[in-house]
Amino acid sequence: MIECFEKQNIKRSVAAGVILLVASFFVAVGVAEISFPETFLTFTDQDWLINIWPKAYRYNIHVGVGACVLCGLLIIPAFKLQKDFTIRALETLCRIGIGGMFIFASIFKIQDPHQFATLVAQYQFFSALHLDFVNNFFALVYPQFELWFGLAMIFTPFAKESAFAIFWMFVSFIIALAWALWNDLGITCGCFELEGAQDKAEAWTSLIRDIILIWPTFWLTMRKNKSLIGVWRK
Protein backbone atom coordinates (compact mmCIF):
# COMPACT_ATOMS: atom_id res chain seq x y z
CA MET A 1 0.00 0.00 0.00
CA ILE A 2 2.79 2.42 0.97
CA GLU A 3 4.78 1.49 -2.14
CA CYS A 4 1.72 2.13 -4.33
CA PHE A 5 1.23 5.53 -2.69
CA GLU A 6 4.89 6.45 -3.26
CA LYS A 7 4.68 5.51 -6.95
CA GLN A 8 1.55 7.62 -7.34
CA ASN A 9 3.28 10.49 -5.55
CA ILE A 10 6.27 10.24 -7.92
CA LYS A 11 3.97 10.27 -10.96
CA ARG A 12 2.20 13.36 -9.65
CA SER A 13 5.54 15.09 -9.02
CA VAL A 14 6.75 14.27 -12.55
CA ALA A 15 3.51 15.56 -14.06
CA ALA A 16 3.71 18.74 -11.97
CA GLY A 17 7.36 19.15 -12.99
CA VAL A 18 6.49 18.91 -16.70
CA ILE A 19 3.72 21.50 -16.29
CA LEU A 20 6.10 23.84 -14.45
CA LEU A 21 8.72 23.47 -17.19
CA VAL A 22 6.09 24.48 -19.75
CA ALA A 23 5.05 27.38 -17.48
CA SER A 24 8.70 28.45 -17.18
CA PHE A 25 8.99 28.47 -20.96
CA PHE A 26 5.92 30.69 -21.25
CA VAL A 27 7.17 33.19 -18.66
CA ALA A 28 10.56 33.31 -20.43
CA VAL A 29 8.78 33.99 -23.73
CA GLY A 30 6.59 36.57 -21.99
CA VAL A 31 9.49 38.53 -20.54
CA ALA A 32 11.38 38.29 -23.85
CA GLU A 33 8.39 39.52 -25.87
CA ILE A 34 7.89 42.45 -23.49
CA SER A 35 11.50 43.52 -23.02
CA PHE A 36 13.79 41.72 -25.49
CA PRO A 37 12.16 41.67 -28.96
CA GLU A 38 14.12 40.05 -31.77
CA THR A 39 15.62 37.32 -29.59
CA PHE A 40 15.40 33.56 -30.07
CA LEU A 41 12.55 33.37 -27.50
CA THR A 42 10.22 35.75 -29.35
CA PHE A 43 7.64 34.93 -31.99
CA THR A 44 6.20 38.26 -33.10
CA ASP A 45 9.38 39.15 -34.98
CA GLN A 46 9.53 35.96 -37.03
CA ASP A 47 9.56 36.54 -40.80
CA TRP A 48 7.05 33.79 -41.52
CA LEU A 49 4.54 35.34 -39.12
CA ILE A 50 5.13 38.88 -40.41
CA ASN A 51 4.58 37.60 -43.98
CA ILE A 52 1.18 36.30 -42.87
CA TRP A 53 0.41 39.18 -40.51
CA PRO A 54 2.54 42.28 -41.26
CA LYS A 55 1.50 44.03 -38.02
CA ALA A 56 2.42 41.10 -35.76
CA TYR A 57 5.49 42.86 -34.34
CA ARG A 58 3.26 45.58 -32.86
CA TYR A 59 1.63 43.08 -30.55
CA ASN A 60 4.72 41.79 -28.75
CA ILE A 61 3.57 43.30 -25.43
CA HIS A 62 0.14 41.69 -25.76
CA VAL A 63 1.73 38.32 -26.53
CA GLY A 64 4.16 38.75 -23.62
CA VAL A 65 1.47 39.56 -21.08
CA GLY A 66 -0.68 36.72 -22.43
CA ALA A 67 2.23 34.27 -22.05
CA CYS A 68 2.77 35.38 -18.43
CA VAL A 69 -0.96 34.96 -17.69
CA LEU A 70 -0.87 31.49 -19.24
CA CYS A 71 2.11 30.67 -17.02
CA GLY A 72 0.08 31.67 -13.97
CA LEU A 73 -2.83 29.50 -15.07
CA LEU A 74 -0.57 26.48 -15.58
CA ILE A 75 0.61 26.71 -11.98
CA ILE A 76 -2.93 25.85 -10.78
CA PRO A 77 -3.03 22.24 -12.09
CA ALA A 78 0.59 21.70 -10.98
CA PHE A 79 -0.37 22.91 -7.50
CA LYS A 80 -3.34 20.54 -7.41
CA LEU A 81 -1.24 17.59 -8.57
CA GLN A 82 1.57 18.02 -6.06
CA LYS A 83 1.39 21.06 -3.77
CA ASP A 84 4.67 20.58 -1.91
CA PHE A 85 6.74 19.86 -5.02
CA THR A 86 5.21 22.81 -6.90
CA ILE A 87 6.01 25.28 -4.12
CA ARG A 88 9.61 24.07 -3.89
CA ALA A 89 10.05 24.19 -7.67
CA LEU A 90 8.50 27.65 -7.92
CA GLU A 91 10.77 28.99 -5.20
CA THR A 92 13.81 27.54 -6.97
CA LEU A 93 12.81 28.88 -10.38
CA CYS A 94 11.92 32.34 -9.04
CA ARG A 95 15.18 32.66 -7.13
CA ILE A 96 17.32 31.59 -10.09
CA GLY A 97 15.33 33.62 -12.60
CA ILE A 98 15.05 36.88 -10.67
CA GLY A 99 18.51 36.64 -9.13
CA GLY A 100 20.06 35.84 -12.51
CA MET A 101 18.24 38.72 -14.16
CA PHE A 102 19.60 41.21 -11.61
CA ILE A 103 23.14 39.86 -11.97
CA PHE A 104 22.88 40.20 -15.75
CA ALA A 105 21.38 43.70 -15.47
CA SER A 106 24.22 44.91 -13.24
CA ILE A 107 27.10 43.96 -15.56
CA PHE A 108 26.63 46.73 -18.16
CA LYS A 109 26.19 49.40 -15.49
CA ILE A 110 29.26 48.35 -13.51
CA GLN A 111 31.35 48.33 -16.68
CA ASP A 112 30.26 51.82 -17.71
CA PRO A 113 29.13 53.87 -14.66
CA HIS A 114 29.56 57.17 -16.52
CA GLN A 115 27.07 56.18 -19.22
CA PHE A 116 24.68 54.83 -16.59
CA ALA A 117 24.91 58.12 -14.66
CA THR A 118 24.03 59.97 -17.88
CA LEU A 119 21.00 57.73 -18.36
CA VAL A 120 19.91 58.23 -14.72
CA ALA A 121 20.15 62.00 -15.23
CA GLN A 122 17.79 61.72 -18.23
CA TYR A 123 15.00 60.69 -15.86
CA GLN A 124 15.28 64.20 -14.35
CA PHE A 125 13.97 62.78 -11.06
CA PHE A 126 16.80 63.93 -8.82
CA SER A 127 16.96 67.23 -10.70
CA ALA A 128 13.35 67.91 -9.80
CA LEU A 129 14.31 67.44 -6.13
CA HIS A 130 17.41 69.64 -6.60
CA LEU A 131 19.61 66.65 -5.87
CA ASP A 132 21.66 66.43 -9.07
CA PHE A 133 24.73 65.31 -7.13
CA VAL A 134 22.93 62.05 -6.29
CA ASN A 135 23.04 60.89 -9.94
CA ASN A 136 26.70 59.85 -9.83
CA PHE A 137 26.40 58.23 -6.40
CA PHE A 138 23.31 56.33 -7.53
CA ALA A 139 25.06 55.15 -10.72
CA LEU A 140 27.98 53.77 -8.70
CA VAL A 141 26.05 52.13 -5.86
CA TYR A 142 22.82 50.79 -7.40
CA PRO A 143 24.43 48.31 -9.83
CA GLN A 144 26.43 46.90 -6.93
CA PHE A 145 23.18 46.31 -5.06
CA GLU A 146 21.75 44.54 -8.11
CA LEU A 147 24.82 42.31 -8.40
CA TRP A 148 25.24 41.33 -4.76
CA PHE A 149 21.58 40.86 -3.93
CA GLY A 150 21.16 38.84 -7.14
CA LEU A 151 24.07 36.61 -6.11
CA ALA A 152 22.70 36.33 -2.57
CA MET A 153 19.30 35.32 -3.91
CA ILE A 154 20.83 32.32 -5.69
CA PHE A 155 23.88 31.30 -3.70
CA THR A 156 23.08 32.08 -0.05
CA PRO A 157 20.33 31.03 2.38
CA PHE A 158 19.33 34.69 2.86
CA ALA A 159 16.65 34.61 0.19
CA LYS A 160 14.10 36.49 2.31
CA GLU A 161 16.37 39.52 2.84
CA SER A 162 17.56 39.45 -0.78
CA ALA A 163 13.99 39.30 -2.07
CA PHE A 164 13.01 42.17 0.23
CA ALA A 165 15.84 44.33 -1.17
CA ILE A 166 15.04 43.38 -4.77
CA PHE A 167 11.34 44.04 -4.15
CA TRP A 168 12.13 47.64 -3.18
CA MET A 169 14.41 47.97 -6.18
CA PHE A 170 11.45 46.97 -8.34
CA VAL A 171 9.36 49.60 -6.53
CA SER A 172 12.01 52.23 -7.33
CA PHE A 173 12.07 51.12 -10.99
CA ILE A 174 8.29 51.38 -11.21
CA ILE A 175 8.30 54.85 -9.65
CA ALA A 176 11.08 56.04 -11.99
CA LEU A 177 9.37 54.65 -15.09
CA ALA A 178 5.99 56.06 -14.06
CA TRP A 179 7.71 59.42 -13.51
CA ALA A 180 9.25 59.26 -17.00
CA LEU A 181 5.90 58.44 -18.58
CA TRP A 182 4.06 61.10 -16.57
CA ASN A 183 6.55 63.70 -17.79
CA ASP A 184 6.44 62.35 -21.35
CA LEU A 185 10.15 61.55 -21.39
CA GLY A 186 11.18 59.39 -24.34
CA ILE A 187 13.95 57.43 -22.65
CA THR A 188 15.08 53.84 -22.48
CA CYS A 189 14.80 52.00 -19.18
CA GLY A 190 18.53 51.44 -18.72
CA CYS A 191 17.86 48.05 -17.17
CA PHE A 192 19.85 45.88 -19.56
CA GLU A 193 21.47 48.33 -21.97
CA LEU A 194 22.91 51.81 -21.72
CA GLU A 195 21.54 53.48 -24.79
CA GLY A 196 20.36 57.06 -24.77
CA ALA A 197 16.93 58.58 -25.29
CA GLN A 198 14.51 56.49 -27.34
CA ASP A 199 10.80 56.14 -27.93
CA LYS A 200 8.81 56.28 -24.69
CA ALA A 201 7.37 52.86 -25.61
CA GLU A 202 10.61 51.55 -24.06
CA ALA A 203 9.47 52.88 -20.69
CA TRP A 204 6.03 51.32 -21.08
CA THR A 205 7.41 47.85 -21.82
CA SER A 206 9.82 48.07 -18.89
CA LEU A 207 7.04 49.22 -16.56
CA ILE A 208 4.81 46.30 -17.57
CA ARG A 209 7.68 43.85 -17.09
CA ASP A 210 8.50 45.18 -13.61
CA ILE A 211 4.86 45.12 -12.50
CA ILE A 212 4.71 41.44 -13.51
CA LEU A 213 8.01 40.46 -11.85
CA ILE A 214 7.41 42.31 -8.58
CA TRP A 215 4.76 39.77 -7.55
CA PRO A 216 6.92 36.60 -7.45
CA THR A 217 9.58 38.73 -5.72
CA PHE A 218 7.05 39.74 -3.06
CA TRP A 219 6.12 36.07 -2.64
CA LEU A 220 9.79 35.23 -2.02
CA THR A 221 9.89 37.77 0.84
CA MET A 222 7.42 35.54 2.69
CA ARG A 223 9.42 32.33 2.25
CA LYS A 224 11.75 30.96 4.94
CA ASN A 225 15.49 31.46 4.61
CA LYS A 226 17.01 28.39 3.01
CA SER A 227 19.70 27.62 0.49
CA LEU A 228 18.51 26.28 -2.87
CA ILE A 229 19.59 22.83 -1.71
CA GLY A 230 17.78 23.39 1.59
CA VAL A 231 14.56 24.15 -0.28
CA TRP A 232 14.46 20.48 -1.35
CA ARG A 233 15.30 19.02 2.04
CA LYS A 234 12.39 17.71 4.06
**Domains of the chain by residue range:** 1-81, 92-234
* 111 or 193, higher pLDDT: 111
> 127-136, 159-168, 172-181 — which one is most confidently predicted on average?
159-168
Residue 10: per-residue pLDDT = 81
Residue 148: per-residue pLDDT = 95
The radius of gyration computed from the CA coordinates of the chain, to the nearest angstrom, equals: 20
Q: Rounded distance, CA 61 to CA 138, Å? A: 30
For residue 34, which amino acid is it?
A: I
* 180 or 72, higher pLDDT: 72
Looking at the DSSP bridge assignments, the partners of residue 197 are 187
Looking at the DSSP bridge assignments, the partners of residue 187 are 197
For a pLDDT cut of 70, what percent of the chain falls above it?
86
| Whether pLDDT at 195 is above 80 | no
Residue 218: per-residue pLDDT = 95
For residue 199, which amino acid is it?
A: D
For a pLDDT cut of 90, what percent of the chain falls above it?
28
| Whether pLDDT at 174 is above 60 | yes
Residue 159: per-residue pLDDT = 92
* 86 or 121, higher pLDDT: 86
Q: What's the mean pLDDT in 43-61?
A: 79
> Which uninterrupted H or E stretch holds 10?
helix 2-35
Residue 187: per-residue pLDDT = 65
| Whether pLDDT at 130 is above 90 | no
Q: Rounded distance, CA 133 to CA 131, Å? A: 5
CA angle in degrees (0–180, nearest 5) for 94-140-135:
110
Residue 164: per-residue pLDDT = 96
Q: What's the mean pLDDT in 47-57?
A: 79
What is the overall mean pLDDT for the chain?
A: 83
Residue 60: per-residue pLDDT = 80
User: Mean pLDDT lowest for which of 32-36, 104-108, 112-116?
Assistant: 32-36
Residue 191: per-residue pLDDT = 63
